[in-house]
Structure 1
Amino acid sequence: MKLNFRKTGTGKPLVILHGLFGSADNWMSIAKGLEENFTLYLLDQRNHGDSPHSDTWNYKAMAKDLKEFMEAEGLEKASFLGHSMGGKTVMKFALTYPEMVNKLVVADIAPRPYPVHHQTILEGLNAVDIKNLSSRKEAEDKLTEYISERGVRQFLLKNLTRKEGAFAWKINLPVITKQIENVGEEITSDKPFSGPALFMGGANSDYIKSSDKEDIENLFPDNHIIHIKNTGHWLHAEQPEAVVATLNAFLGT
């Protein structure tokens, strides 16, 4: 699958993958802090952003998408950064195609399985009558019935676009709804990835716990686990300067 992407900066290649319901645009502010040292490739994963939709949606397929992207761009090797769902994708990619990975950064996710916990968001998105929608405000009003946090609603509404004069979702909502359990799938491998790997969690998030250390050690023995202070799961949005400094320090060495 040919993924949509944005390219910026000059230097060593760094590929960035967003999380569930996100897109490449979510990481543009971080990219601005890295573009002096890296050539950045910000990708839309399948069923997200402006990338194609597919009925197949799992980490094996998304890792293969990443390999096809690398080959299409003539990149033999790069460093990779993935947040949440994107973190699972880059873990799967590094374990499957280790020869193509220089350094790995996994943002606020671990290899272990995660229970489904996006039901309310999916209920809200599916409650929006997209075919008869007349305004973005109407969509937000409907989402408000399900999601109290305005920031979360605004994040989700970035997926709302217009096609041929009508509103539409950029995300493949039917497939994501039907296969949502795949996003929490455990990442496993018979062989570990031996390259440097940074697991960067939010100090106020429980996505990377102390109990995850054993799984991380088994799959990524050359690992470093840190937590960014005063931030939760959306660490790149909540503490961008700290995230940029951490990335430059780890990837620049």
Structure 2
Amino acid sequence: MKLYSKEYGEDRNHPPLVLLHGLLGSLVNWQRIARSLAHTRRVIVPDLRNHGRSPHDPDVSYEAMANDVLELLDDLGIPEAVLIGHSMGGKTAMVLALRHPERVERLGVVDIAPVAYSGRLAFLMDALLSLPLEQIDSRAHADLLLADSIPEKAVCDHMLQNLQRSEGGWRWRNNLQALRDGLDSISGFPEDAFVQPYTGKSCFIKGEHSDYIDQHGLARIQTLFPAFELMEIRGAGHWVYAEQPRLFLDAVDRFLTLQDS
């Protein structure tokens, strides 16, 4: 699948960075970070399948998403890249590193572990799917209708970035139904997607107030990514790079400079 993507920066002396967004996100989520990193690196930010401006497909498996990113690297003539992914994008990056380690110079994973999660997003996606699109006259109206089921303003605003007006009325830009149908797959992690651990340098960046990386997750990380380093960002939850962008950029900079040591 040909992914829609944007590029920032032109440095050709280092492997380019590829930033992968999370579930119900898009490349827009990374723009602030991408522009900052582009001062010293070439940065590529795609919309993953079923998100943003990329094509839709009922296959939401991590194998498919990893293959899409691999195809993007091939199309851009990139033999090796640094992958940094948040949440679902982090799992996609992990699968690509495990299956094609020769294409991943190093791996950055933001607030997610290679384990299954349950009961975190179903209610949110069900609320979005129940929104009566034919009755909506503005995003503000949609926000009002979602207020009871999604009371967190920041979360609701993030979700409504995917709501788009077209000639036929309002629609979801992402393939919301396919993502909901495949939520068990997205919440899990494919245990048969790899043969051996990824031994390249890897960094797992977690938010201080997030519980997405617990002791069980750390054990799996140790098994699959033995050369990993864990960094914790103070004052951040799951949306690490949005909540503490300066500290996140500092952590990424430390991670990237390790390649010269």
Q: What is the identity, as a one-letter code, of the residue corresponding to 2:255?
A: F
**Distance in 2 separating the partners of 1:19 and 1:155:** 11
- 1:165 Cα deviation after fit: 5.0
- 1:187 Cα deviation after fit: 4.2
Name the counterpart of 1:38. Answer: 41
Name the counterpart of 2:10. Answer: 10
| SS across alignment from 1:47 | coil
Name the counterpart of 2:234. Answer: 229
Q: What is the identity, as a one-letter code, of the residue corresponding to 1:204?
A: H
**Distance in 2 separating the partners of 1:241 and 1:98:** 29
**Distance in 1 separating the partners of 2:146 and 2:76:** 39
- 1:184 Cα deviation after fit: 1.3
Q: What is the identity, as a one-letter code, of the residue corresponding to 1:110?
A: A
Q: What is the identity, as a one-letter code, of the residue corresponding to 2:6?
A: R
77-86 or 213-222, which deviates more: 213-222
Q: Deviations over 1:138-194 (max 9, x none)?
A: 211111121111111100010011223521111101111211111111243330111
Q: Deviations over 1:8-49 (max 9, x none)?
A: 013230000000110001011111221111101111100111
Asked if the contact 2:231/2:251 (under 8 Å) is kept, the reply is no
In the TM superposition, 1:46-65 aligns within 5 A as 46-65=49-68
Asked if the contact 1:95/1:192 (under 8 Å) is kept, the reply is yes
In the TM superposition, 1:206-221 aligns within 5 A as 206-221=211-226
Asked if the contact 2:3/2:47 (under 8 Å) is kept, the reply is yes
Name the counterpart of 1:142. Answer: 145
**Distance in 2 separating the partners of 1:158 and 1:59:** 24
- Which contiguous aligned blocks of 4+ residues in structure 1 show a shift greater than 6 angstroms? none
TM value normalised by structure 2: 0.94
**Distance in 1 separating the partners of 2:189 and 2:60:** 14
12-21 or 161-170, which deviates more: 161-170
Alignment of 1:66 with 2:52, yes or no, is no
Name the counterpart of 2:115. Answer: 112
Choose the corresponding residue for 2:198, options 172, 193, 218: 193
Asked if the contact 1:120/1:147 (under 8 Å) is kept, the reply is no
RMSD: 1.2
**Distance in 2 separating the partners of 1:92 and 1:213:** 17
**Distance in 2 separating the partners of 1:28 and 1:34:** 10
| SS across alignment from 1:68 | helix
Question: Could you list the runs of 5+ residues in structure 2 that have no partner in the other structure?
Answer: none
- 1:50 Cα deviation after fit: 0.7
Asked if the contact 1:116/1:181 (under 8 Å) is kept, the reply is no
Asked if the contact 2:99/2:195 (under 8 Å) is kept, the reply is no
